[in-house]
Structure 1
């Protein structure tokens, strides 16, 4: 039966869900509090420069292909993709870096040049990672997290030990060189937890990295948001920006509408792709599934201090994606997860999209994005931001052998306070709820409210978890759950 569905937020998961629900025949309307759509994946344009505010990595292209195929489309109908070669670079010291190629054979050769015998170990490790990927991404993550039985299959039964080991232990048992260990531990940071707290099964992220490569959509990740918007509009979805949600209206235990900018909007069903914790604050206390104590007890993915910088010249000695691991990874991780505070010597990541995409900066200039992962909820002031910009730019100059501070045309920053203000993000986290063993699948917050009829959730705090591909999948899962439940 055709129903009137209202969706809160316009990030990847909301847009994905909107497309699936519209395809089912429902009337779908999205409400976005900000001026532009995209949620965390919005775009910044300034003085001829273009930056992705949020995600900058395009991994798991098969997930995007599977999404568009559900609508008899393909990514190339909407945007142009380029595989990055090399994929990225990792700096460990002054002029001391490892370049990660766009194919496993060359990566294995690079490993072998650093640690004798590691090419063979890598190929064995990657064979397991691919097997895990085939099970996880082609099957398990497309399950709604309703029951623990979803995880029990013939294939997962063979890998039960992979849920109790950790990425860190696995990697360190096979490789001795610290650089190689850090490179292999890096991809799971996208899952929002320390490698020592991430189950071995998540090595499928290494296959996403080395096996499938790193891609760049022309004009940036925002091109994918625009693709989803176009598809949604083609399917009849209505999208309203500058539309703040004040309250979810509930009557006799049933969601009946939204209060948008002070006005009541009726609905047969409500779906929120906004921050899960924030969404529940839009309900009266008795209708909330999860207490403040519950959220306090959870392991959240990091927040970030981000800088969007316009340089008046081209930046040398870096790739499109560059990681700076020249300081102690474990000490920085402790400052995020164990003793939340600003790290004294932060690891950081830099992206220069104009290396690949000439549309991202004026000719002869460079667009730079710098990211420091930090603990959510820590102090955020202009003085702290400026201090850390100075820290990472000094290191960046030293490591890459160039002067750049005097070539900054402008810089804009984004940190904890902005994540809270723009996205109502719990403690200003950037990536959602970490994928630790006890925060996986059915152990994550549910897609469907058990206290309010016709209220559903999607996004990075529910299943399957953090990241752009999981967000697309989350939208599909909730749409299928709505269709299956027919609770309206």
Structure 2
């Protein structure tokens, strides 16, 4: 007789694992299904030639007091992994200056005065607003409402959150970051906009003209609450959450892709490899909306809120990524682990190598690299679909690699000569190893002041089938996907 789980979670990314852990704490019988042999999804890891590489996301967030992971670990009575608090959070390398992005507010304001000498008071006033509005967004989102509301009860559940203290947030729901920059006379400050575009691309996947103000503010202020280098990489967090589920008597099935979800008399059937079938009362899809119609059968898909054609037409990025080993001495003169680079020739390009992030392993973390070496990850946004034109795939892949390495060489001379191991990856790599449809990662691209209203909530339109991850509000990044998983767990436990 087939065991019927209370909840089946498809995908062991951060959102799915956070939900599974919370549901396990509540006594639910849970089965997590992961297609690969690694946990964490786009924040997972792999090992090669003595190096440990982080698959995508590398920066630890949310472990400050009151943060998403701090609260989650307290609820689960888990001990956080060893980590290093970063300040500066990163160095941003622009063609004519390097900006040290400090966590502490006062240090950051002092850096603004040094690096943006023309407008320091106006930029500081802008950041005062960022911190104030970002805190209001946090207060609302951390209460895990279903947002955007899709059902009448979702609207009803939002009403208690509408308090006098949250009403000042309303104007920012209908403006972009660029609209707010106009208020402070900063909309023509090209240097500051270049800086902001880089930070927003990494966190919200868009630029100042297309980013809803409240989403951008929430992302910008998060950097200043606490950023961490987690010992062993972010995958350690995923491993802890999975271990918690197992200790509670639940199952985490590795290398168990789910090929189809169907319904039979109110029970969901999940088909895995070798004709294995699992059953559950509820299902949480943590494998992105891009994969929805390839996961649920046609009968269920036809009843859902997710239109296959409209979903396929929505803009989403892919990632070009380089994993490499480098000799320690290349970065011996800086103890900063995260570096954002702006191409000195094309500073306005936000993708295809125009701006990118380089994450270095902590030299004290010997899990990440052999003695005398450091592992690193370079990533930039790219148009995912162009990589499926295979006629010039190899040449395009090599050209992108050289462009990124050449930019780092510009700021750190001799960098590429000290590389020990170079492994580039494209959206096709993400499609193959992480099963992301067409290699799309990072959620959807905000395209205007009201683009948040087009976000998917945790609801699919199917009773008992929920979703979480980077394509679900509040969006990409380990904090966003974890929050969507916790929102889903809250609804599923009712």
**Counterparts of 2:252 and 2:402, CA distance in 1:** 40
2:489 is aligned to 479
1:283 is aligned to 296
1:455 is aligned to 465
1:321 is aligned to 338
Q: State which of 26, 29, 48 in structure 2 corresponds to 1:27.
A: 29
2:425 is aligned to 414
**Counterparts of 2:162 and 2:118, CA distance in 1:** 36
2:115 is aligned to 114
Alpha carbons 2:15, 2:482 under 8 Å: kept: yes
2:361 is aligned to 353
Instruction: State the TM-score, normalized to the length of structure 2.
Output: 0.86
Compared with structure 1, are the counterparts of its residues 438 and 263 closer, same or farther at alpha carbon in structure 2 (3 Å cutoff)?
farther
**Counterparts of 1:347 and 1:32, CA distance in 2:** 32
Matched, 1:205 2:219: yes
316-325 or 153-162, which deviates more: 153-162
1:163 is aligned to 173
Gaps spanning 5+ residues in structure 2: where? none
Supply the RMSD in Å over aligned alpha carbons: 2.5
Compared with structure 1, are the counterparts of its residues 229 and 362 closer, same or farther at alpha carbon in structure 2 (3 Å cutoff)?
same
Structure 1 residue 404: deviation in Å?
3.0
Matched, 1:63 2:68: yes
Secondary structure of the 1:459 match is coil
1:148-159 matched pairs, under 5 angstroms: 149=155, 150=158, 152-159=162-169
Structure 1 residue 236: deviation in Å?
2.5
The one-character-per-residue Cα deviations of 1:3-39 (angstroms, maximum 9, x if unpaired) are 5321111000110110111122211111111012211
Compared with structure 1, are the counterparts of its residues 168 and 235 closer, same or farther at alpha carbon in structure 2 (3 Å cutoff)?
farther
The one-character-per-residue Cα deviations of 1:318-369 (angstroms, maximum 9, x if unpaired) are 6311111234778524xx6xxxxxx4x6222211113463432222222221
Compared with structure 1, are the counterparts of its residues 124 and 418 closer, same or farther at alpha carbon in structure 2 (3 Å cutoff)?
same
Secondary structure of the 2:46 match is strand
2:314 is aligned to 298
Secondary structure of the 1:154 match is coil
Alpha carbons 2:53, 2:375 under 8 Å: kept: yes
1:365 is aligned to 373
Structure 1 residue 99: deviation in Å?
1.7
Matched, 1:257 2:272: no
2:385 is aligned to 377
Alpha carbons 1:435, 1:465 under 8 Å: kept: no
**Counterparts of 1:303 and 1:320, CA distance in 2:** 24
1:267 is aligned to 280
1:126 is aligned to 127
Alpha carbons 1:248, 1:255 under 8 Å: kept: no
The one-character-per-residue Cα deviations of 1:259-316 (angstroms, maximum 9, x if unpaired) are 111222222222211122313322232421222221134232x211000011245323
